[in-house]
Copies of this chain bind each other. A is one copy, B any other.
């Protein structure tokens, strides 16, 4: 397979690789997410910053993430779940000659959407042929966590939880804010147990327990993190596979218990981009 560029272009970051013979030979990570771009700027960022940095002049490229939204370079309409590798490859949209964008996935009724996670899911699924059979549950923690149900190698359904965004809003801008924070696994675990059991009402306990003297103020943020992740995972299967940054994946594994599996294989988005590029070639 000849060389190409693979780009994971989200709201806050742009990560790109030059891929030769299915391996990433060089990589860049820019704070050039689509949320910071003006209309028309994506194309310039790509040709003036990404291509030269990866010696990619004239190479084809494949991109996933918010670059395919109305804020990005060109809109790649959502394909409806169930959707797998072939559906994504068939839904590629050309932004410029040889430059293609992976579509997001929506629920058929339009009640939930993803952009970028479909590529990670495909990357994880196609790394091992045994994953392409039967039912799987994936958890992708983040600003907007995705819980994805896989059936026979395709995304069958999913839900979004605003866990990461709620955590940032609450710890920075709410009455739960504390001037000093020290991480505590014990406070996290306590919050997580309550979040799983009682959902949203666990959040205010991050303050109430401090006010009444049964939680140290500097551990309140750990408790809040646990309460949010616990509430998110109240209905999760403990046999889920967690795909995400190691620090966050560790917390989800604590909440889900011993049978949750953290995926340690490396970059699922890059793997997915390689698979979709091949499937469409």
Contacts and interface: CB of A to CB of B under 8 A. Distances in A.
Oligomer: number of copies: 2
A162 B205 CA distance: 10
Interface in A120-144: 144
A200 B165 contact: no
Contact of A204 (B112, B174, B175): B112
Nearest to A234: B199
Given A110-B214, A205-B111, A214-B109, A200 B169 contact: no
A205 to B, nearest CB: 5
Interface string A216-232: 00000000000000011
A46 interface: no
Contacts of A203: 162
A173 B162 contact: no
A78 B214 CA distance: 13
A113 interface: yes
A144 to B, nearest CB: 6
A170 to B, nearest CB: 7
A113 B169 contact: no
Contact of A165 (B160, B174, B199): B174
A90 interface: no
A106 B215 CA distance: 14
Contact of A111 (B78, B112, B200, B208): B208
5 A-B pairs with the lowest CB-CB distances in the bound complex, closest first: A110-B212, A110-B214, A160-B204, A159-B201, A113-B208
